[in-house]
Amino acid sequence: MDKTIGIFGGGQLGRMMAQAALPLNIQCTFFEANRDCPAAQMGQVIDAQLDQAIETFIESAEVFSLEFENTPLADVDQLIKHKQIHPPRQALAIAQNRLLEKALFDQLDIPVAAYRAVDSLQSLEQAVRELGLPIVLKTATGGYDGKGQFVLRTADQIAEAWAELGRAKHLVAESFVSFSREVSIIAVRGQDGDVKTWPLAENHHHHGILSHSIVPAPNSAKLQGVAQDYITRLLNHLNYVGVLTLELFVTEQGLYANEMAPRVHNSGHWSIEGAVCSQFENHIRAVAGLPLGSTELIRPTVMVNIIGEHPATAEVLALSGAHLHLYNKTEREGRKIGHITLMPTDHAELTNLCRQLAEILPVPLALTTDMQIDF
């Protein structure tokens, strides 16, 4: 199939989408301000800073997608006058605003923590009275990887929280959810309405950034169907095309939605080796109007992010069952610059691989030798 897909953004997600597209004879172009972005090796990069750049981008492809939910809506609005974009604009607009997102969850009966809109110090004080403490105060727009958040535990932190985040003006205060772990469900919907989901991933974080994901999430058999139901409601309501991710908290009361991401997701990188058809290939298939591939698990996997500094390539590749993905990104503290997928055959090998990898990674992550996974 000869087709070109234009992608808003040229980061590692765009890079991996393009890598999945090439075997299908599908090319990608990228709308990106950084000419030396990770996706630059995979296709034409249209400099988003140039005059008439959006017009050039619109002419570069037949159909469009994105790799980042903060893609400017003004650019999308200009595009959809001429071409189609998947996922739809509505999904992007909702994902960019936590208040709209939570209202959608409420509308679809997807459980979410109690919340209040906050636009002043007085409304924050009222939210604290109504919700109780602790609460999580978040910017309604623009936050990611733990940024734009303040955990408010005592009343004497109210002024501090407002001073830190109040300039954003539009905030949301959420009741603090007592949860045992975080999981994510990733699904894809085709243009014909076909929906497929991957197994739940259990996600672990390091300084607010995803450090590693375990698939399938341990002890998740009873959770999988519930999560699939929630994300299918979202996909069908939005008439969505492409990959969607729903992040969830596991609580004693069941699953609570945290947020959705209208794109391929870091917690799904394992699927390149660990599933019959990866999140990247299935997203490309959906956007191009092709039949979806199987999301069946090949083997339990652990995906580990490389954050800040590169490990020695040879040392990683010497590990049995390890797959290394580097993003052509320079080293910087807190930056995701690659990932490693481990595909152990049993618990003994998993324990050994985690121990060896923990010694190799320059930035230590919370890889435990007693990690649980359902083989």
- In order along its 375 residues, the chain shows pLDDT tens digits of 679 999 999 999 999 999 999 999 999 999 999 999 999 999 999 999 999 999 999 999 999 999 999 999 999 999 999 999 999 999 999 999 999 999 999 999 999 999 999 999 999 999 999 999 999 999 998 766 567 899 999 999 999 999 999 888 899 999 988 999 999 999 999 999 999 999 999 999 988 889 999 999 999 999 999 999 999 999 999 999 999 999 999 999 999 999 999 999 999 999 999 999 999 999 999 999 999 999 999 999 999 999 999 999 999 999 988 999 999 999 999 999 999 999 998 888 988 898 899 889 987 666 665 677 877
Residue 261: which CATH number? Answer: 3.30.470.20
Is 146 labelled a binding residue? yes
Is 14 labelled a binding residue? no
Do 19 and 147 lie in one domain? The reply is no
Do 18 and 122 lie in one domain? The reply is no
Do 139 and 212 lie in one domain? The reply is no
Is 304 labelled a binding residue? no
Do 275 and 158 lie in one domain? The reply is no
Residue 100 lies in a domain: no
Do 324 and 287 lie in one domain? The reply is yes
Residue 63: which CATH number? Answer: 3.40.50.20
How many domains, the chain? 3
Where does a domain end: 123, 156, 175? 175
Do 155 and 28 lie in one domain? The reply is no
Is 225 labelled a binding residue? no
Contact 60/46 with Cβ under 8 angstroms? yes
Q: Which strands form 171-175's sheet, in the order they lie side by side? A: 115-118, 171-175, 135-139, 149-152
Do 77 and 122 lie in one domain? The reply is no
Q: For 282, what's the count of Cα atoms within 13 Å in the CB-facing half-sphere? A: 31
DSSP bridge partners of 213: 203, 303
Is 242 labelled a binding residue? no
Do 154 and 259 lie in one domain? The reply is no
Do 267 and 295 lie in one domain? The reply is yes
Do 267 and 353 lie in one domain? The reply is yes
Is 138 labelled a binding residue? yes
Is 98 labelled a binding residue? yes
Do 250 and 292 lie in one domain? The reply is yes
Is 142 labelled a binding residue? no
Query: In which domain, by residue range, is 155 found?
Result: 114-175
